[in-house]
Amino acid sequence: MNAVDFILAGMLAAATPMLLAALGEMVVERSGVLNLGLEGMMALGAALGFITTYTYDSHALGFLVAAVGGAALALVFALIVLGFVANQVAAGLAIGILGTGLSSLFGKSFESLTISGLPKLALPLLSDIPVLGALFVQDVVVWLTLLLALAIWAVMNHSKLGLIIRAVGENPHAARAIGFRVLRVRCAAIAFGGALAGIAGAYASTVYTPLWADGMIAGRGWIALALVVFGTWATGRVVFGAFLFGALSLGELTTQAAGVNIPSQLLACVPYIVTILMLAVISSNRRRMRLNTIASLGQPFEK
Amino acid sequence: MSISFTRRAKASRVAMLLAPVVAFCCAIVASVILFTALGKSPGQALYSLLLEPFLSWYNFSEVLLKMAPLLLIAQGLAIGFRANVFNIGAEGQLIIGAIAASALPVWYPMGDSAWMLPAMLVMGAGAGMAWAGIAALFRTRFNANEILVTLMLSLIAAQVLNYLLLGPWKDPNGFNFPQSVMFPDAALLPILLPGTRVNVSLLLALIASVLAYVLMRHRFSGFQLLVGGLAPRAARYAGFSETRAIWMSLLLGGLAAGLAGASEVAGPLGQLQRSVSTGYGYSAIIVAYLGGLNPLGIVISAFVMSVIYIGGDNAMVSADLPVAAVWVFQGLLLCFYLAGLTFIRHKVTWIRRKVAP
């Protein structure tokens, strides 16, 4: 398998954990809340997903438990920032630390056990295309994630619900004045984001690399946060950014396979360096950032 | 009946002092429930976590040893947090500081110059500053969010450390362990309390606390930083610059973290190791908040957090609690504290609803 085939075949799966988490966070941020605890919610989802899948031999159940766990942790965050009107940056960090701690606490006795992943499904016809065909042989979660991205795009841009979420994010006081319950909308968005982060973690630990290892999320939650900025809160661009990072994270394996002798630790830095550069490129256009940034992002809402 | 928060006209001082104490108690109760659910003995866990650190002089001195890096980093971070500049990458700045400080003893393992140690501390502090300075540059020049940039820089620093310890800086006689050579005596910090491992870095941290207090209280620049972060537009009218607040916050935070990293390798470790930081950079964030972002409060919260660290080490042995238990506790502590902060600015009122019309 040459490098192009390898990247085409692997990039969607590599992108999926980041994409799921980023899509959830995008909805949360559109409602005006910044949840920095993504890494922790993903770690918790990864641990719970792995433990459940290992114990009951069911990926579906694993994803379900991971989603519930992620949402539960997100609701703790919601209670702190919505109920107690706390600083969202600090609360997000607290949730991140808590989630990471809980994941290693729960996962301790499952360290280094392995399970089997999910089979790949080939899309008929498309997978027969030369070279590009490899792109269309993926597991079911990848396909569902892409459908979910489409659904989120449709809901955010072409439905009343999307309009409500955006109104709450852009101008919570006006939204309240016309009768929407700001805190309830935000709470639901946070829970949704948490559930997706949990599923994202479970995908990483039960499908992408089907094993549990402490610290296995390895910054992917933070990259997902950066992806939301990179995508300037638009679904399509978030998806594009996730694919780009999926391909990048495979670069390490590809260069090794190609026999290029660069220490793996330094190659592992590439996605992080690219994240910084990409943030700089996107954010340096201050006018565009101002136009796209959610107006009430990170600000507590008080009646 | 429902609960409602109404804003107080003035911040409540009682609530301000009570919030961290109540949060601490709540975090204890919540962790005991959690540990019991996991089948651990709650009594033994509590004993190890809270009492054992005080029961022997050795344990207590270890608390003071842990306190030095936490206090130093937290004081540096709090300057930025007060100005709304969120440097959450102290972990990376510490690692880079430790690496830079280790360069000298790694290159001159037989060195015995009296200048070695001071040079190491300066290099560590400078490297930490430079690492945080990257984030400041990206924030001021390209408007890139410093939270994400500092965190990414931490992940990069961890990989650089791994690379050095697995490759060029690995001790050739170290049985293939990922660690550097042992440092010569000239590269080690003098011991402060004889018979313990407590070194002069505790003194450095206390001096830094005094400086942080002076910066906040008596100097114009403390005020400038505060305004620059809280109200950038107002600050600009007043002739202060947001850019300066960002640079100053990040550089001072990086300096403190870099110095802490240098003190770790020149102190209790005596060599560069993979575990040069056991999450000090992240714990220091909690320490800074728990201390109310106030230099005096931070001294107390750094002490409390060190007790938890040492207690957690003990509990690992005696109560069979995993290391992660300390992280869970710290996360819970910050959650409860942030919730408790509400009562400083808000009054709780119970609204009794009779019959809904």
* Cross-chain residue pair A286–B143, CB shorter than 8 Å: yes
ipTM of the assembly?
A: 0.93
Confidence at residue B357, expressed as pLDDT on a 0 to 100 scale = 45
Q: Kindly report the CATH class assigned to A3-292.
A: mainly alpha
Residues ≥6 apart with Cβ < 8 Å to B107:
none
Domain of residue B222 covers: 65-302
Q: Please, which residues have CB within 8 angstroms of residue B148's CB and are 6 or more apart in sequence? A: A222, A225, A226, A229, A275, A276, A279
The answer to whether B148 contacts A222, with C-beta atoms less than 8 Å apart, is: yes
Q: Is A268's Cβ below 8 Å from some Cβ in B? A: yes
Structure confidence by residue, pLDDT tens digits, A238-266: 999 999 999 988 877 777 667 677 788 88
Cβ under 8 Å to B: A residues 36-55: 36, 40
Q: Can you give the pLDDT at residue A181?
A: 94
Tell if the CB–CB gap between A85 and B334 is shorter than 8 Å: no
CA nearest to B289 within chain A: A90
Q: Which residue has tokens 């509400």?
A: B342
Q: How close are the terminal C-alpha atoms of chain B, in Å? A: 15
pLDDT of residue B228: 58
Q: Write out chain A residues lying below 8 Å of B166, CB-based.
A: 263, 265
pLDDT value at position A233? 94
Collapsing DSSP to helix, strand or coil, B7 comes out as: strand
Query: What pLDDT, in 10s, does the model give residues B43-67?
Result: 888 888 889 999 999 999 999 999 9
B159 touches chain A (CB under 8 A): yes
Say how many C-beta atoms besides its own lie within 10 A of residue B43's C-beta: 11
**A97 at B interface, C-beta within 8 A:** yes
> What was the pLDDT predicted at B345?
79
- With beta carbons under 8 A apart, name residues in chain B contacting A80: 335, 338-339
How distant is the Cα of A228 from the closest Cα of chain B, in angstroms?
12
Q: Tokens for B263? A: 């003190």
Q: Name the residue among B145, B159, B339 with its Cβ closest to that of A84.
A: B339
Residue-averaged pLDDT of chain A: 92
Contact predicate B189/B267, CB 8 Å: yes
pLDDT at A34 (0 to 100): 96
The answer to whether position B315 is within a domain reads no
**Most confident residue range from A253-262, B251-260, B310-319, B325-334:** B251-260
In whole angstroms, give the CA distance from residue A284 to residue A287: 9
Mean pLDDT of chain B: 89
B334 lies within 8 A of chain A by CB? yes
**Residue B334: which of A97, A105, A268 has the nearest Cβ?**
A97
Mean pLDDT of A128-135: 82
**How many residues appear in chain B?**
357
Q: Is A102 on the interface with B (CB under 8 A)?
A: yes
Residue A80 contacts B, CB cutoff 8 Å: yes
CA-closest candidate to residue A260, choices A251, A268, A269: A251
Taking alpha carbons only, the member of B309, B209, B301 closest to residue B268 is B309
Q: How far apart are CA A187 and CA B208, in angstroms?
A: 41
For residue B247, being part of any structural domain is answered with yes
Give chain B's domain count.
Answer: 1
Instruction: Using a CB–CB cutoff of 8 Å, tell me whether A9 touches chain B.
Output: no
Measured between beta carbons, which residues in chain A are less than 8 angstroms from residue B151?
219, 222
Residue A260 has φ and ψ, to the nearest 5°, of -75, 130
Distance CA A105, CA A171 (A): 40
- Report the alpha-carbon distance of residue B297 to residue B302 in Å, rounded: 9
- Buried b or exposed e, range A65-94, using 16+ CB within 10 angstroms: bbbebbbbbbebbbbbbbebbbbbbbbbbb
The backbone region for B239, taken as left when phi is positive above 0, alpha when psi lies in -120 to 50, beta otherwise, is: left
How far is the CA of B297 from the CAs of A208, B16, B170, B288, B306, in angstroms? 45, 11, 40, 8, 14
Tell me the C-alpha distance between B122 and B124, whole Å: 5
Residue B295 lies inside a defined structural domain of this protein: yes
d(CA B53, CA B192): 19
Instruction: Give the C-alpha separation, A210 to A241, whole Å.
Output: 24
Per the CB < 8 Å rule, is A101 touching B153? no
Measured distance CA(B262)–CA(B204) in Å, rounded:
12
Is B308 a domain residue?
no
Domain ranges in chain A are 3-292
Residues paired with B5 in a beta bridge = B348
* Structure confidence at residue B303 (pLDDT): 97
- The percent of residues above 70 in pLDDT, for chain A, comes to 98
Q: In 3D, which of B322, B278, B326 has the Cα closest to residue B304?
A: B326
Residue to substitute from A105, A183, A287, interface B, most B β-carbons within 10 A: A105
The dihedral region occupied by A112, where left means phi > 0, alpha psi between -120 and 50, and beta the remainder, is left
Given a contact cutoff of 8 angstroms between Cβ atoms, the answer to whether A210 and A203 are in contact is no
Question: Beta-carbon neighbour count of residue A243 at 10 Å?
Answer: 17
Q: Which of A12, A22, A11, A7 is nearest to A236 (CA)?
A: A22
Residue B106 domain flag? yes
Q: A203: which 2 tokens?
A: 């995908």
- How close is the nearest chain B Cα to the Cα of A119, in Å? 32
Other C-beta atoms lying within 10 Å of the C-beta of residue B214: 12
Amino acid at position B144, single letter = A
| CB crowding A126-161: b at 16 or more within 10 Å, else e | ebeeeeebbbbbbbebbeebbebbeebbebbeeeee
Percent of chain B scored above 90 by pLDDT? Answer: 65
- A275–B152 C-beta distance less than 8 A: yes
pLDDT at B18 over 80: yes
- Reference B84, options B260, B218, B217, B230; nearest CA is B230
Backbone angles phi, psi at A138, to 5 degrees: -140, 165
The distance in angstroms from the start CA to the end CA of chain A is: 60
Binary contact (B142, A269; C-beta < 8 A): no
Residue B286 in any domain: the answer is yes
Check residue B235 and give its pLDDT: 65
Question: Scanning the structure block, which residue is given the tokens 């972002």?
Answer: B293
Interchain CB contact of A83 with B (< 8 Å): yes
The residue among A73, A45, A98, A101 whose CA lies nearest residue B337 is A98
Q: Of A98, A108, A272, which is closest to B156 when you measure between CB atoms? A: A272
Q: Out of A66-70, A285-289, B54-58, B239-243, give the one with best mean pLDDT.
A: A66-70
- Does any domain span residue B126? yes
B288 in contact with chain A, both atoms CB, cutoff 8 A: no
**Domain assignment of residue B218, yes or no:** yes
What's the confidence (pLDDT) of residue B227? 61
